[in-house]
Amino acid sequence: MVGTGGPVASFSVWDYVVFAGTILGAASIGLFQAIRGRKNTSSEEFLLGGRQMTAVPVAMSLTASFMSGITVIGTPAEAYRFGTAFWLFGFSYAIMSAITAEIFVPLFYRLGITSAYEYLEMRFNRLIRMIGTSMYIVQTALYTGLVIYAPALALNQITGLDLWGVLVATGVVCIIYCTLGGLKAVIWTDVLQMVIMLAGFIAVIARGAVLQGGLSVIWEDAGNGGRLEAFDFDPDPLKRHTFWTIVVGGSIMWVSIYSINQSQVQRYISCKTLGQAKLSLYVNMVGLWVTVSLAVFSGLTMFSIYKNCDPFSNGDINTSDQLLPYLVMDILAVFPGIPGLFVAAAYSGTLSTVSSSINALVAVTVEDFIFPFYKDLTPKQITWMNMGLSVFYGGVCIGMAGVASAMGSVLQAALSIFGMISGPLLGLYLLGMLFRTTNSKGGLTGLIIGLVLTLWVGIGAQLYPPTADKTNPLPLSTAGCNKTMDLNSTTATPWTSPATMTPQADLRPPLADSWYSLSYVYFSTFGMLTTIVSGLLVSIITGGCKQKKMNSDLFVRKSDLICFSGCSNSKASDDAEKAPTDLHMGIDNKAFTEMDVKSKESENATKL
């Protein structure tokens, strides 16, 4: 009987058919793009999609990149355990979209950069650029490993397939279409994968509503279980999720992810125009709202079904991240092929993120570590180098999945990684964009101080997790289970064992309940502020910026906040007048005009 615990059905033949067909369909898009663009094997075609992308596919790709298999699996488990507070990230997505679209995107377009970290060399020096790129590579490798691990865990739970076999297979599929198709293949497969992810959530919610007697019953059960109390205005920064931690800390965290992360920046500059790039962020905002809403409501559906028999406490699953896969097999196994669709949804989210990460890692490696030192490479050499690096980074990401398997809840671990590394990097960018007095010494010192302090609190939180009074887990029951372990009817004990278990009080250091208990959502804010403050102080002490005249293009302008589609009042319009008149090729993207010149020079040199 559904919702009473015990073993659930396993994959049927039709589930395997649906799953395999979906994945092959996604991979075939990548191969199609590779065949379609085989005549143009230039670096900008591989890394920037031939500068022909428009807002909607790019927006869906932006959403799919960070709404990955972690979202499919982790967010419903979050809502099931902690309630709908995660829904408040919708405010963060809106703030993030406005800041990124109106401040960062115009700046990057104006400078005509390919790698987001080119700005650091323009504003500071090459050393800081190399450090920024290295931080991004480490962060992305860790995060991508976690993304690979999450759906592999789901497949292992509901199909019995070997965990590491699935991990390797995931990496191999991504490597194939990333290596052959480049960014254009990544974006168009993301579009399909985004649709599949949303379909997986809808299938769970629809079936749950039928079983429980309607969506209103699910909502009522969630309210009775305390899952709808989202607005906690307690200003305590040590509490895991409050209105302030999510809206303030979450906004800065998502800005650090979307504004300076190469995976996202690479999509902006693949758009034909600045207006299309900005529009893609606002469409992406709506996509994020829809995705997180469906994910959270899936968690509420899961609570309604298991309110009297928590599968984790009952010993039916091993980690909280297996909750949704278990639910799928419990309620959807009677419909052959539907569980396969869900697994394809989780797997598709992984493919989109991993492929995006691999493509971005290749881009920053080529632009920041190879081109500055090897300027005479032929187009053919560049093509083979791009493909070889795709294979290399695919292997690295598979290896990092092993590290990710030891990091607890996949959702919090993923966001913590971004907070610890992207927060200080965001502070460095803001130092350069907003303060003319900042010099290279201040920027480098601020970045180091911010990174060290953020890693200190983040690693400490991983070793000594906050206690239950800070995380606020909600009660669950095993009273209605067919079989129960030797536990009382509330499930505080089992839920504190794997991911939220804390050492005995006498073994916890003095900082464990203060410094290490800082909400993980505030990691980015903490890193950004410490970087900015220390960077400004060191810059002032060391004489500030001694250059007599600095390029005004390196700083945020008032016009950046006004223009949207036409950008008639900004420098982009001037570039448009000087650029080719082919609108399809993107007249207001300075980077593309420069790349056209470089490409023609390279072709002429090859002919000679």
Instruction: From 392, 370, 394, select the one nearest 381 (Cα to Cα).
Output: 370
Instruction: From 73, 71, 79, 74, select the one nearest 229 (Cα to Cα).
Output: 79
The answer on pLDDT for 517 being more than 70 is: yes
Average pLDDT, the chain: 76
Residue 522's CB is within 10 A of a number of other CB atoms, namely 23
Per-position b or e across 415-449, b if 16+ CB within 10 A of its CB: bbbbbbbbbbbbbbbbbbbebeebbbbbbbbbbeb
Instruction: From 65, 51, 140, 605, select the one nearest 382 (Cα to Cα).
Output: 605
**What pLDDT digit, counting tens, does each position of 184-212 carry?**
666 666 677 677 778 888 989 999 999 99
Q: How far apart are CA 14 and CA 20, in angstroms?
A: 10
pLDDT given at position 55:
73
Q: How far apart are CA 228 and CA 303, in angstroms?
A: 12
The answer on pLDDT for 574 being more than 70 is: no
Rounded mean pLDDT, 290-301: 92
Q: What DSSP letter does each residue of 71-84 carry, written as one string?
A: HHHHHHHHHHHH-G
Question: Which residue has tokens 């931690």?
Answer: 245
Task: Give the helix ranges, DSSP H, for 43-111.
Answer: 43-48, 55-66, 69-82, 89-99, 105-111
Query: Domains of the chain, with CATH numbers?
Result: 13-477+504-607 (1.20.1730.10)
pLDDT given at position 247:
94
CB 57 within 8 A of CB 216: no
CA-only gyration radius of the chain, Å: 24
Least confident of 112-121, 315-324, 401-410: 401-410
Residue 404 — pLDDT band, cuts 50, 70, 90? low
Task: Enter the tokens of residue 33.
Answer: 């793009």
pLDDT given at position 499:
40
Residue 305 — pLDDT band, cuts 50, 70, 90? very high
Q: For a pLDDT cut of 70, what percent of the chain falls above it?
A: 73
Task: Enter the tokens of residue 73.
Answer: 């699996």
Instruction: From 412, 513, 415, select the one nearest 464 (Cα to Cα).
Output: 513
Can you tell me whether residue 312 is helix, strand or coil?
coil
Helix axis angle, 338-365 relative to 379-404, nearest 10°? 130
Instruction: From 314, 323, 309, select the one nearest 484 (Cα to Cα).
Output: 314
The answer on pLDDT for 571 being more than 70 is: no
Q: How far apart are CA 231 and CA 88, in angstroms?
A: 8
Instruction: From 433, 432, 407, 438, select the one nearest 420 (Cα to Cα).
Output: 407
Q: How far apart are CA 147 and CA 358, in angstroms?
A: 12
Instruction: From 333, 330, 338, 339, select the one nearest 309 (Cα to Cα).
Output: 330
The DSSP H or E segment spanning 531 is helix 523-541
Hey, CA dihedral for 88, 94, 95, 100, is it positive or negative?
Answer: positive
The answer on pLDDT for 529 being more than 90 is: yes
Residue 158 — pLDDT band, cuts 50, 70, 90? low
Q: How far apart are CA 536 and CA 525, in angstroms?
A: 16
Q: For a pLDDT cut of 90, what percent of the chain falls above it?
A: 22
CB 487 within 8 A of CB 478: yes
CB 418 within 8 A of CB 525: no
For residue 477, the cross-strand partners are 490
Instruction: From 219, 573, 149, 171, select the one nearest 402 (Cα to Cα).
Output: 149
Rounded mean pLDDT, 425-432: 94
**What pLDDT digit, counting tens, does each position of 258-281 carry?**
888 887 887 777 777 888 888 888
pLDDT given at position 524:
92
CA 205 to chain centre: 24
Rounded mean pLDDT, 146-169: 70
Q: How far apart are CA 504 and CA 6, in angstroms?
A: 32
Residue 23 — pLDDT band, cuts 50, 70, 90? confident
Residue 348 — pLDDT band, cuts 50, 70, 90? low
Task: Enter the tokens of residue 483.
Answer: 């079989």
Q: How far apart are CA 145 and CA 353, in angstroms?
A: 10
Least confident of 17-21, 97-101, 456-460, 575-579: 575-579
Rounded mean pLDDT, 363-370: 82
Backbone φ, ψ for residue 53 (5° rounding):
-80, 150
Q: How far apart are CA 441 and CA 539, in angstroms?
A: 6
Of 364 and 152, the one with more pLDDT: 364
CB 14 within 8 A of CB 318: no
pLDDT given at position 406:
61
CB 171 within 8 A of CB 398: yes
**Counting beta carbons within 10 angstroms of the beta carbon of residue 549, is it exposed (0 to 12), middle (13 to 18) or buried (19 or more)?**
exposed
CB 428 within 8 A of CB 446: yes
CB 194 within 8 A of CB 60: yes
Q: pTM of the predicted model, to two decimals?
A: 0.80
Backbone φ, ψ for residue 144 (5° rounding):
-65, -35
For residue 53, the cross-strand partners are 271
Structure letter (DSSP) for residue 232: -
pLDDT given at position 88:
93
For residue 490, the cross-strand partners are 477
Rounded mean pLDDT, 37-57: 53
Residue 155 — pLDDT band, cuts 50, 70, 90? low
pLDDT given at position 249:
93
